[in-house]
Structure 1
């Protein structure tokens, strides 16, 4: 095995990719023998804020792989301060409920400068990743799902009126407290996967779907025209990891997102939502939690191989163990 591709977004994706990198290092102590990891990252959460291009999922995964993420909060940089955000709020600029730390702002300023200089988001992401580990770079290659801007918005009803909010406003400010009527990927119709993304999928020996939000993370990646077709044609097995354990989202509010699109919040429900590759979906295999072992034969009935394994990623050890289970599941194809 020479190359592994992961579709990921958010904190769950960051933990899983970190576990995968750790497990591959354990299995292949010689770095020259280690499979390359390429992560196709959701950019639907991206936005322009205070004149800066902010890419939450790209940054969460970058910080985690660099070892500088805030593990307690689950997002942002460790050891942060927020003096600049305080000044912006005093000027009435930006979103006061969406606090960007000072170190984090350095990332957004650098990214915006690179984009203004004419680099694509893929090129800018590579430049940002190259600074870590004393210039050796990250242990995985981060690939934005598209260089074309796609932003997830949420249609809701507020005081009887129709409103279309950026996903981060619905997620962070409102805490998904207002039911979502629809998710709208603004700009997705004209977006395309990058050449780097298509080449990575075509050359992969294994494709993994991280336990990220199936609607606004993995779902947004799959919604880019051409992405599903690339996966359908991929020679590699595609193994997904359930983000649902015992009928509840592992993290965040994926249950609210699934309810909005009429999908049951269960490991079986999400497996059916992704579908079997043999019938036009994207999955060859699906890992469910030990708590959901009863769903394994039902997933098999969908045409998707399945196994029940420990899914909780509580620390580095459990994250690497889960990644190992995903690698082993691919070997059973």
Structure 2
């Protein structure tokens, strides 16, 4: 799919699954055409460092530096600092590799000096040679709180320390009511040159919801002439990565692509589902949402590029 040089595509993403599609999109579009906005409600402060898991996952993936076996962090990582931290009696439940720590040190130093998260992200991307616009959803802090029977847990404590074991009953986004969308993000949503808004295959509750719930974003997406297309993170009843399917079951929702489409509702113009879920296409179309059925499991770079091409073609057909 060829877009004109003036055309823009906006991708909204969480971590690992979304990052794969972002990489495919980056291979299909010129750098100035693609704007990627990453969830920052998973961010937290740990050991004095500002850690941005989703931003870093996307950044490392785009730079070809991510650990493909683990699905997170950097390839060829070492763990000397973590070992020394454990020996000193420090907290080690959140794994920080030596090379990864350098990213957090640069970001934290800049932000402690009064620079924004956007400025720190731009510097880190430039150092890695990236020419794609990668933005935090906001420069203001938003923090996902997971509601469980045992009380609220900050997202990283639920996700990493507790390994997603507690049963989920809901979510709260601390700071969301005061947060402002990152300025370039908001401008892109309102840009007349925008040709597609793509919601990557990320957790709809804790990765996508904080982004689209920022003031003005959902309304801007609804009024945009660009079609809004989501790629299902659920395939054959399972999440390819992360706890989305478990969360759906605990929230008394079917673990299905159809349930994800119902969750997004009339925000969507199009929905991309895996070929294994073809039988759900008709029910999704009855919601007034166009459906594309294609292979969505991205096990290789070629698979990521092919899915990106198909999503872009789909968006063009919905214009």
TM-score tier, shorter chain, comes to over 0.9
Q: Structure 2 CA distance, aligned partners of 1:180 and 1:166? A: 12
Give the C-alpha shift of residue 260 in structure 1. Answer: 4.1
Q: Structure 2 CA distance, aligned partners of 1:198 and 1:109? A: 28
> Which residue matches 1:272?
262
Q: Structure 1 CA distance, aligned partners of 2:227 and 2:178? A: 28
Q: Structure 1 CA distance, aligned partners of 2:174 and 2:255? A: 25
Tell me, yes or no, if structure 1 residue 291 matches structure 2 residue 281.
Answer: no
Give the C-alpha shift of residue 275 in structure 1. Answer: 0.8
> Which residue matches 1:214?
204
Match of 2:9 among 4, 18, 26: 4
Deviations 1:257-301 (A, max 9, x none): 22344432111100010012xxxxx21100111011111111111
> Which residue matches 2:168?
180
SS in 2 for 1:215: helix
Deviations 1:163-213 (A, max 9, x none): 221111211222211201221211111112121110111222211010011
* Bigger mean CA deviation after superposition, 10-19 or 166-175: 166-175
Task: Check the 8 A contact 1:312/1:318 in 2, yes or no.
Answer: yes
The runs of 5 or more residues in structure 1 that have no matched partner are 25-30, 277-281
Match of 1:306 among 291, 313, 319: 291
Q: Structure 2 CA distance, aligned partners of 1:226 and 1:262? A: 29
Tell me, yes or no, if structure 1 residue 225 matches structure 2 residue 215.
Answer: yes
Q: Structure 1 CA distance, aligned partners of 2:254 and 2:210? A: 18
Task: Check the 8 A contact 2:32/2:133 in 1, yes or no.
Answer: no
SS in 2 for 1:239: strand
Alignment of 1:127-146 (within 5 A): 127-132=123-128, 137-146=129-138
Q: Structure 2 CA distance, aligned partners of 1:309 and 1:52? A: 41
SS in 1 for 2:206: coil
Q: Structure 2 CA distance, aligned partners of 1:211 and 1:74? A: 15
SS in 1 for 2:130: coil
Match of 1:171 among 140, 156, 159: 159
Q: Structure 1 CA distance, aligned partners of 2:246 and 2:43? A: 20
Deviations 1:194-244 (A, max 9, x none): 211101112222110100111110112122222211211222111111111
Give the C-alpha shift of residue 256 in structure 1. Answer: 2.1
> Which residue matches 1:87?
84
Tell me, yes or no, if structure 1 residue 71 matches structure 2 residue 68.
Answer: yes
Task: Check the 8 A contact 1:151/1:166 in 2, yes or no.
Answer: yes
> Which residue matches 1:279?
none
Q: CA RMSD for the aligned pairs? A: 1.4
Tell me, yes or no, if structure 1 residue 150 matches structure 2 residue 147.
Answer: no
* Bigger mean CA deviation after superposition, 321-330 or 52-61: 321-330
Per the normalisation by structure 2, the TM-score is 0.94
Match of 2:97 among 95, 98, 101: 101
> Which residue matches 1:250?
240
Q: Structure 2 CA distance, aligned partners of 1:188 and 1:319? A: 32
Q: Structure 1 CA distance, aligned partners of 2:131 and 2:227? A: 22
SS in 2 for 1:292: helix
Give the direction of change, closer, same or farther, for the CA distance of 1:262–1:222 in structure 2 (3 Å limit). Answer: farther
Q: Structure 2 CA distance, aligned partners of 1:149 and 1:101? A: 24
